[in-house]
Amino acid sequence: MEAAIQLRGVEKRFGEIVAVDGLDLDVPPGICLGLLGPNGAGKSTTMRLLTGQAIADAGELTVLGHQLPGDSKAARAKMGVVPQLDNLDVDVTVEDNLRVFARLYRVKDIGPAVDRALDLARLQDRRKDAVDELSGGMRRRLLLARGLIHQPPLLLLDEPTVGLDPQIRTELWTLIDGLRSEGVTILMSTHYIEEAQRLADEVAVMTKGKIIARGRPNELIAEHAGRETAELYGPPEFLRDARLRAEGEGLKVRPAGPAIAIVGSENAGNGAVPDEAIRRAASLEDVFVLLTGEEAE
Ligand SMILES: Nc1ncnc2c1ncn2[C@@H]1O[C@H](COP(=O)(O)OP(=O)(O)OP(=O)(O)O)[C@@H](O)[C@H]1O
Ligand SMILES: [Mg+2]
């Protein structure tokens, strides 16, 4: 089947900065693709190119069969967009926020569409309240429901849970997972490993404007990290020596907060991994840190 999103050699510069640098990306229909990358990787810029809020300097972009930027209006009509920053209208009610978007997207039966969105966001009993009376989690749910008012087949989520409490984050994950099981195609940017691991069918690791690895979380782990990682805590000198010894054995070592993580420890020869190390299954976090050189959140 034709890809829902297809990018070929896409570039976007801001003066000297190359925010997106020859990006190739395919999102097949019906999956949730997690665009996982550190701050400044170019995730939001990629999203903005897809919504037509920014124009690429080079490359080809196709969304649901529509070529951008020429056909971006038609593409936009079939897309739901949830921006990184909350841009709800705080002066009007919950219900009116939804109504305005329903009109904008030329939804035929506005009443039922608003009701459906209120159900999805679980905000039926707050429909007459002003947005600035809502909690942070309610606002996020409303933002998501607003993006879905026209029942789009494709959803762009830019850091859907950034800065939220763990409990609210889990709640949103459930919501997003529900959409995924209904068959909505989702492109979701995140820099939370756990978010990608929980929600994404496939993960594309992005750094410096490029995709450097792509696959199902388990495939990425097997390919780049192996089976097992050994975490070691201790004074800096002890860790430095352990690191040198492990690297001398050809193992990859990465920082892990106050600890070091010796990746691929299942292949370690005698003495390459100290006995006090804690062995655990390799994780997507190992892959992310090894590939991007950035510590994970
Ligand atoms: N409008 C702009 N003008 C100038 N530079 C920009 C603009 N938008 C983005 N950039 C730069 O482009 C690069 C990529 O930014 P972008 O916002 O796409 O990253 P990101 O992956 O979304 O990061 P974050 O995780 O922090 O949201 C950064 O260096 C950023 O400073
Ligand atoms: Mg961003």
Could you read off the pLDDT tens digit of each residue along the chain, which spans 297 residues? Answer: 689 999 999 999 999 999 999 999 999 999 999 999 999 999 999 999 999 999 999 999 999 999 999 999 999 999 999 998 889 999 999 999 999 999 999 999 999 999 999 999 999 999 999 999 999 889 999 999 999 999 999 999 999 998 888 888 998 999 999 999 999 999 999 989 999 999 999 999 999 999 999 999 999 999 999 999 999 999 999 999 999 999 999 999 999 989 999 999 998 888 889 999 999 999 999 999 999 988 777
Q: Examine the domain organization and report whether 266 and 133 are in the same domain.
A: no
Q: Examine the domain organization and report whether 74 and 94 are in the same domain.
A: no
pLDDT at 107: 96
**205/237 Cα distance (integer angstroms):** 32
Q: Do residues 189 and 113 lie in contact, with contact meaning Cβ atoms separated by under 8 Å?
A: no
Residues with Cβ within 8 Å of 219's Cβ and at least 6 positions away in sequence, in order, are none
289 is a domain residue: no
Number of domains in the chain: 3
Q: Examine the domain organization and report whether 187 and 69 are in the same domain.
A: yes
Q: Examine the domain organization and report whether 25 and 133 are in the same domain.
A: no
Final residue of a structural domain among 98, 119, 146: 146
Q: Which amino acid is it at 70?
A: G
Q: Examine the domain organization and report whether 44 and 186 are in the same domain.
A: yes
197 CB under 6 A from ligand 1?
no
| Beta-sheet pairing, 278-281 with 32-36 | unpaired
Report the residue among 10, 18, 35, 44 best suited for mutation to probe ligand 1: largest number of ligand atoms under 8 A from its CB. Answer: 44
17 CB under 6 A from ligand 1?
yes
Q: Examine the domain organization and report whether 30 and 173 are in the same domain.
A: yes
What CATH code is carried by the domain that includes residue 35?
Answer: 3.40.50.300
184 is a domain residue: yes
| Beta-sheet pairing, 17-27 with 5-14 | antiparallel
What does the pLDDT look like over 70-114, one tens digit per residue?
999 999 999 999 998 889 999 999 999 999 999 999 999 999 999
Give the Å distance between the CA of 285 and the centre of ligand 1.
Answer: 23
pLDDT at 75: 96
Q: Examine the domain organization and report whether 176 and 199 are in the same domain.
A: yes
Give the Å distance between the CA of 19 and the centre of ligand 1.
Answer: 6
pLDDT at 1: 65
pLDDT at 167: 87
14 CB under 6 A from ligand 1?
yes
Give the Å distance between the CA of 54 and the centre of ligand 1.
Answer: 12
**244/241 Cα distance (integer angstroms):** 5
16 is a domain residue: yes
**258/255 Cα distance (integer angstroms):** 8
283 CB under 6 A from ligand 1?
no
Q: Can you give the residue range of the structural domain that contains 141?
A: 89-146
Give the Å distance between the CA of 15 and the centre of ligand 2.
Answer: 18
Closest atom, ligand 1, to C-alpha of 191: 25
